[in-house]
């Protein structure tokens, strides 16, 4: 089963990066306050980036790499993949 690395745009314009098998389920957990501590403080608004891997270890390595990027570099990464569409959009700020 594939693993995914995802980036969420959160309240205030910040980004949260994580990995999961089922991204939509994980996104809903974040929305309900049962995800990461960060997303309990900064409500996730939209799934803006998704990348697929064939193993959890590869996804975790990529997640760590993305987490080292600054805000502008993450924004650049997201913009390069701007063809990403999702049904998990929620009210924008």
Tens digit of each residue's pLDDT (9 = 90 or more) over 75-88: 999 998 766 544 44
Whole-prediction pTM: 0.85
Q: What is the pLDDT of residues 30-50, one digit of tens each?
A: 999 998 999 999 999 999 999
Residue 89 in domain: no
Q: Is residue 87 part of a domain?
A: no
Asked if residue 17 is part of any domain, the answer here is yes
In a domain, 86, yes or no: no
In a domain, 45, yes or no: yes
State mean pLDDT over 55-60.
96
Domain extent at residue 50? 3-80
Listed in sequence order, the DSSP H helices in 1-93 are: 23-31, 37-41, 56-67, 71-80
Q: Hey, how many other C-beta atoms are within 10 angstroms of the C-beta on 24?
A: 13
- The reply to whether 39 falls in a domain is yes
Confidence category of residue 1, pLDDT binned at 50, 70, 90: confident
What is the CATH classification number for the domain harbouring 9? 3.40.1440.10
Mean pLDDT of 56-78: 96
* Residue 10, token pair as written in the block: 């959160």
pLDDT at 93: 39
61 part of a folded domain: yes
Residues whose CB falls within 8 Å of the CB of residue 51, separated by 6 or more in sequence, listed in order: 4, 5, 6, 62
Per DSSP, the three-state class of 39 is helix
């Amino acid at each position: 089963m594939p693993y995914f690395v995802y980036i969420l745009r959160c309240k205030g314009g910040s980004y949260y990066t994580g990995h999961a098998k089922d991204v939509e389920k994980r996104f809903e957990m974040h929305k309900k306050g049962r995800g990461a501590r960060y997303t309990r403080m900064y409500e996730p608004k939209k799934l803006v980036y998704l990348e697929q891997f064939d193993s959890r270890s590869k996804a975790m390595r990529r997640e760590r790499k993305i987490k080292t990027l600054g805000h502008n570099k993450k924004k650049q990464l997201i913009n390069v993949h701007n063809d990403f569409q999702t049904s998990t959009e929620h009210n924008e700020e």
